[in-house]
């Protein structure tokens, strides 16, 4: 990559119409950008058809270039009724991880972010229990213990919001955080909260999904990573996976096997989110692969 060149990511979602790619490519070409990766998905030119695009490009935009490029994109965004995002790829995201007592998903995130497999850092950990403070201390990550009861929930969430902002965390990850967030909290961070639910949604919504799965005698258990919305376990799905089981597996076996699925599904979802590979469309997602 030439000197003084940065890599950028551009995400676009709009109604599908002819000329979108040409318009975007023309802008990037005028800025001297070298497109290094390009993905697009079209639902077709029907009345409700959508167009999604992800581009990575290298450009020497200088100090004022990103604002100039953003202005040019906005000029074409208005006639196309386009939602778009321009991100600097070398700026890793800062994560706030919420946990309760289970440590497997947190451990996976810590390991992958420390190795650089996920382009992000864990900026702080928030928990309604103190069990995992020693783990946070081992990685030298600030740990906040905000107990949650019916009486303290609003205050605990307010304290959590302040901590997230103080640490400049862009993405919130619920790594087996066994509390339901309020509508106010969720609306404060739209499409920025990722949860891991220990079932293959939409099956077994809510608490104790492994108990529900065992009672039904399922042959597949799974995990689902999704964006959090005001509707419990019903937000746009980012990633899912399953593990086959049979009549010999007891409840503890389902939990043990499920932990392996949960940790990897959540890690993949976080990786794709911080790499700007996920576009939300209503209650669905478009995920551009590596």
Q: Is the pLDDT of residue 1 over 50?
A: no
Q: Phi/psi class of residue 116: alpha, beta or left (left: φ > 0; alpha: ψ in -120 to 50)? A: left
- For residues 60 and 238, the model is more confident at 238
Q: Is the pLDDT of residue 5 over 90?
A: no
- Among 26, 57, 88, the domain boundary falls at 88
Going from the C-alpha of 83 to that of each of 139, 150, 155, 227, the distances in angstroms are: 38, 38, 34, 18
Question: What H or E segment, with its residue span, contains residue 255?
Answer: helix 251-274
CATH number at residue 67: 3.30.70.260
Domain holding 102, by residue range, is 93-287
Instruction: Summarize the confidence of residues 6-27 as an average pLDDT.
Output: 94
Is residue 159, in this structure, part of any structural domain at all?
A: yes
Beta bridge partners of 195: 174, 226
Is residue 115 over pLDDT 90?
yes
> Residue 222: which H helix or E strand, with range?
strand 220-227
CA-to-CA dists, residue 117 to 174, 257, 288, angstroms? 19, 23, 18
Cα(192)–Cα(70) distance, rounded to whole angstroms?
A: 22
State the CATH number of the domain containing residue 224: 3.40.50.170
Q: Kindly report the CA angle at 100 between 270 and 203, in degrees rounded to 5?
A: 65
Phi-psi region of 208 (alpha: psi -120 to 50; beta: other; left: phi over 0): left
Q: 85, 99, 155, 153: which is closest to 131 by C-alpha?
A: 99
Count Cβ atoms below 10 Å from residue 152 Cβ, excluding itself.
13
Of 194, 178, 202, 175, nearest to 263 by C-alpha is 175
Instruction: Find the range with the poorest average confidence among 40-49, 90-99, 225-234.
Output: 40-49
The tens digit of pLDDT for each residue in 21-73 reads: 999 999 999 989 999 999 999 998 877 899 999 999 999 877 667 888 999 99
Choosing from 56, 88, 120, the residue where a domain stops is 88
User: Mean pLDDT for the chain?
Assistant: 94
3-state secondary structure of 142: coil
User: What does each C-alpha distance from 24 to 2, 38, 80 come to in angstroms?
Assistant: 22, 12, 11
Tell whether 97 and 84 lie within a shared domain.
no
Q: Which residues contact 255 (CB under 8 A, 6 or more apart)?
A: 210
- Judgement on whether residues 43 and 143 belong to the same structural domain of the protein: no
Same domain, 56 and 165: no
Domain edge (last residue) among 88, 119, 135: 88
Are 113 and 57 within one domain? no
CB 205 within 8 A of CB 232: yes
Our count of domains for the chain comes to 2
Round to whole Å and give the CA distance between 286 and 86. 17
197 lies in a domain? yes
- Mind telling me the catalytic residues? 233
Q: Which two tokens stand for residue 289?
A: 């692969």
């Amino acid at each position: 990559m030439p000197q003084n060149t940065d890599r950028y990511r551009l995400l676009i979602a709009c109604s599908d119409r002819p000329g979108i790619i040409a318009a975007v490519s023309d802008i990037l070409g005028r800025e001297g950008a070298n497109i290094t990766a390009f993905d697009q998905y079209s639902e077709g030119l029907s009345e409700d058809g959508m167009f999604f695009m992800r581009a990575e490009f290298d450009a020497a935009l200088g100090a004022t270039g990103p604002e100039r490029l953003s202005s040019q994109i906005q000029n074409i965004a208005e006639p196309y009724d386009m939602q778009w995002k321009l991100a600097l790829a070398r700026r890793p995201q800062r994560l706030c991880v919420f946990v309760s007592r289970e440590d497997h998903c947190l451990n996976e995130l810590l390991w992958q972010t420390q190795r650089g497999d996920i382009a992000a850092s864990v900026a702080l950990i928030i928990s309604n229990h103190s069990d995992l403070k020693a783990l946070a201390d081992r990685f030298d990550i600030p740990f906040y213990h905000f107990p949650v009861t019916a009486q303290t929930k609003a205050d605990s969430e307010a304290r959590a919001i302040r901590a997230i902002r103080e640490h400049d965390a862009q993405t919130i990850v619920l790594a087996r955080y066994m509390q339901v967030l309020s509508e106010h909290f969720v609306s404060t961070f739209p499409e920025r909260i990722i949860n891991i639910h220990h079932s293959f949604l939409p099956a077994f919504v809510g608490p104790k999904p492994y108990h529900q799965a065992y009672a039904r005698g399922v042959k597949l258990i799974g995990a689902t990573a999704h964006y959090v919305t005001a509707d419990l376990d019903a937000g746009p799905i980012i990633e899912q996976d399953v593990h086959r089981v049979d009549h010999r597996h007891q409840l503890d076996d389902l939990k043990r096997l499920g932990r392996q699925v949960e940790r990897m599904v959540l890690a993949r979802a976080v990786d794709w989110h911080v790499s700007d590979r996920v576009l939300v469309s209503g209650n669905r997602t478009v995920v551009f692969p590596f």
